[in-house]
Amino acid sequence: MLVGEMRWLMREKAKQYLEYFDFKFLKDEIQIRLNEDAPRPLSNLVTRVCESGDETLLTCIYETLNCIADADALSCCEIDEKVCPEEIFRSVLAELDNSLPTENQ
């Protein structure tokens, strides 16, 4: 698979995953939640990244997916480290990369 094709597939996967997030508007905050009908790979990604049970990490996953979906090049993703630490960004990026088909698939 060509690098450009892989980047395109990763961006498309990120865009698809973003459709499975809901927002709950509270008085002083907005909560991000994962839909119950989210595909298993996305649910697994959320489980692995949020294994500590910290719900704020769901915001990090959403921010990362948005960044990837909007990026012209993955090396140029502008992630706000105040919203999402780099280690979480890299974890989500690796999960997406691992979910892409390989040449043998």
- Cα 77 vs. chain centroid, distance in angstroms? 12
DSSP per position, the chain: --HHHHHHHHHHHHHHHHTTEEEEE-SS-EEEEE-TT--HHHHHHHHHHTTT--THHHHHHHHHHHHHHH-SSGGG----TTTS-HHHHHHHHHHHHHHS--TT-
Does the residue 104 lie in any domain? no
Q: Measure the CA–CA gap between 77 and 98, rounded to whole angstroms.
A: 18
Please give the mean pLDDT across all residues of the chain: 82
Model-wide pTM > 0.85: no
- Structural domain range at position 46: 3-99
Does the residue 105 lie in any domain? no
Does the residue 49 lie in any domain? yes
Does the residue 14 lie in any domain? yes
Number of domain units in the chain: 1
- Express each pLDDT in 54-98 by its tens digit: 677 888 899 999 988 888 776 677 777 888 888 888 888 888 888
Tokens of 101: 């088909």
